[in-house]
A and B are shown apart, each in its own frame.
Chain A
Amino acid sequence: MSLNAWGASLGAVVAAEGDSHFPPKVADFWQPLVTFGHVGNTTIALTRPMVVLTLVALVLSVWLVTTTRRAAAVPSKGQWFTEQVYDFVRNNVARDMIGTKDFMRFVPLLFALFTFILLSNLSGVIPGIQMPPMARIGFPIALTLIVYVVYHWIGIKKHGGFGRYLKWMIPPGIPGWLMPLIVPLELLTYFITRPLTLALRLFGNMFAGHMLLVVFIMGGWLLLTSGSIGLALVTIPAWILGFVMTAFEILVQVLQAFVFTLLAASYFGGALADEH
């Protein structure tokens, strides 16, 4: 509400100025650095989020490989730090959600997901990068696709064929007259709702969070340079809020990486469960 009001009033200010790009628009997230061409409505381009994502993968790979290459029983400082994150994913996410019997198979994937999403998200507030790749829906969908394929694949293998996997999805002991209601609901959950929410949750949080930061910080800048002393003074609360929102955004970024990994683990664990 207040945000909208802010946006509207600032929009008015900006509109008066004429040539600014405030408030931020959806199109602002499309940032092609090199455009190769178009295929229909699709643009083939190297975009800024792609570069950020590559950087994330590179930095993480170098850090993780360097700190664990000579992993020893008595850890170095770097190994110790990596182990803290690894322990968290391994024990608090994978083992707790999947169970001690099967969890080790999924630790690499879950650890990769968590670190990858975490650093991607944090790059939304890292000065000089400030672009969360997950605010582009293509990347959350890519990750969700992997989770989706894996949990269906292990489910089919576990329950012996696609037909029995489908049958397992229906909770036992449901009265016949409820079947028409339950069956579509369950199928919807497994095949559509889960992947959709998984991808959209991550995308939405990053997208909205980044927009919020842009509103406060860019807005503050516009107020400051508006030429009016009264408006320039409003910059102070705008940037204070921008700072608070940045802190809040960091929390959201970590939380979303955790939630994505936790849900992926719970889907894997669910697909491996004997009972529905």
Chain B
Amino acid sequence: MQLSGLTTAAGLAAAAGAEDPEAAAIPILPNPVELVFGLVVFLIFLAVIAKYVVPNLEKAYAERKAAIEGGMSQAEEAQREAEATKRRYEQQLADARDEAARIREEAREQGASIIAEMRGQAQAEAARITEGAQKQIRAEHAQALTSLRSEVGRLSTDLASRIVGESLHNETRRSGIVDRFLEELEAGRVRPEAVGHGTPTPAAHVGAEGQH
């Protein structure tokens, strides 16, 4: 191709060379037509570049710059937001921890007070039960004592009647010997030995009860 092009060109040049002064001109002297033509073509090209190409490219550059900067500021915004949220969560967590500790403390106090209360109640109950039992014991004791007293009187007179051989029931009852004896016994004027063995403890007990 180089070959054919050059051959043609050379042929042209040779053909024109005979009468064309341009072919014989010094190569650093411009052909004015070529100069002006080059000038015009370049200026048109320059106009196209300046009017259509550069503004469009610069616009794209500006857009790109804005997009990158926008993206960056957006990222910064997101980061700031995330940090704020994190701080908020941490605060909430700390609050929750405090709250939990407070509730635990409260619960402990409440528990302690409940235990104390229950203990008080239990003690009161126990005291009440004990008192009730003691009352009952006292009542039963008094009843037992009363029945014992009449029983002892009866048995004593029975025994005495057997020994004496006649009924002393009415007489003793009239004279109130047994009662008197028992009163004396309670007053401690009669020694247990005088009545018989086996009665000192009840006597002492009765005595104590009587004084009580």
Q: Which residues of A contact B (CB under 8 A)?
A: 21, 24-33, 35, 38, 41-45, 47-50, 53-54, 57, 60-61, 64-65, 68-69, 71-73, 75, 79, 82-83, 86, 104, 107-109, 111-112, 115-116, 127-128, 130-131, 133, 136-139, 141-143, 145-146, 200, 203, 207, 213-214, 217-218, 221
Contact = CB atoms under 8 A, between A and B. Distances in A.
B2 A43 contact: no
B27 A116 contact: no
Nearest 9 interchain pairs by C-beta: A138-B34, A21-B10, A142-B38, A138-B30, A71-B60, A108-B50, A138-B35, A27-B23, A139-B38
A51 B8 CA distance: 16
Contact of B34 (A28, A47, A64, A69): A47
Contacts of B35: 138-139, 141-142
Given A64-B49, A107-B54, A116-B42, A218 B6 contact: yes
A38 B1 CA distance: 31
Interface stretch (B14-22, B119-127, B142-150): B14-22
Nearest to A125: B2
B44 interface: yes
Interface in B33-81: 33-39, 41-46, 48-50, 52-54, 56-60, 63-64, 67
Given A111-B49, A112-B45, A133 B38 contact: yes
A276 B42 CA distance: 31
B130 interface: no
A91 B57 CA distance: 13
Interface size class of chain B, counting residues whose CB lies under 8 Å from the partner chain: 35 or more
Contact of A73 (B23, B44, B48, B67): B67
A146 B42 CA distance: 10
B164 interface: no
Nearest to A36: B33
B32 interface: yes
Interface of B: 1-3, 5-7, 9-14, 16-17, 20-25, 27-39, 41-46, 48-50, 52-54, 56-60, 63-64, 67
B64 A73 contact: yes
Q: Is the interface of B mostly helix, strand, loop or mixed?
A: helix
Nearest to B49: A112
Contacts of A112: 42, 45-46, 49-50
A221 B21 CA distance: 30
B13 A50 contact: no
12 contacts: A29-B27, A30-B22, A43-B22, A47-B31, A68-B56, A71-B60, A86-B53, A111-B49, A111-B53, A138-B31, A138-B35, A221-B3
A69 B20 CA distance: 45
Contact of A137 (B5, B13, B29): B29
Contacts of A69: 52, 56
Given A207-B27, A213-B2, A214-B6, A65 B34 contact: no
A109 B58 CA distance: 15
Contact of A146 (B22, B39, B53): B39
A71 B43 CA distance: 23
Contacts of A127: 1-2
B53 A142 contact: no
Contacts of A108: 46, 49-50, 53-54
Nearest to A45: B33
Contacts of B42: 57, 112, 116, 142-143, 146
* Residue of A24, A68, A207 with highest tally of chain B CB at under 10 A: A68
* Residue of B32, B39, B57 with highest tally of chain A CB at under 10 A: B57
Given A30-B16, A112-B45, A217-B3, A21 B63 contact: no
Contacts of B17: 27
A30 B3 CA distance: 16
Contacts of A65: 48, 52-53
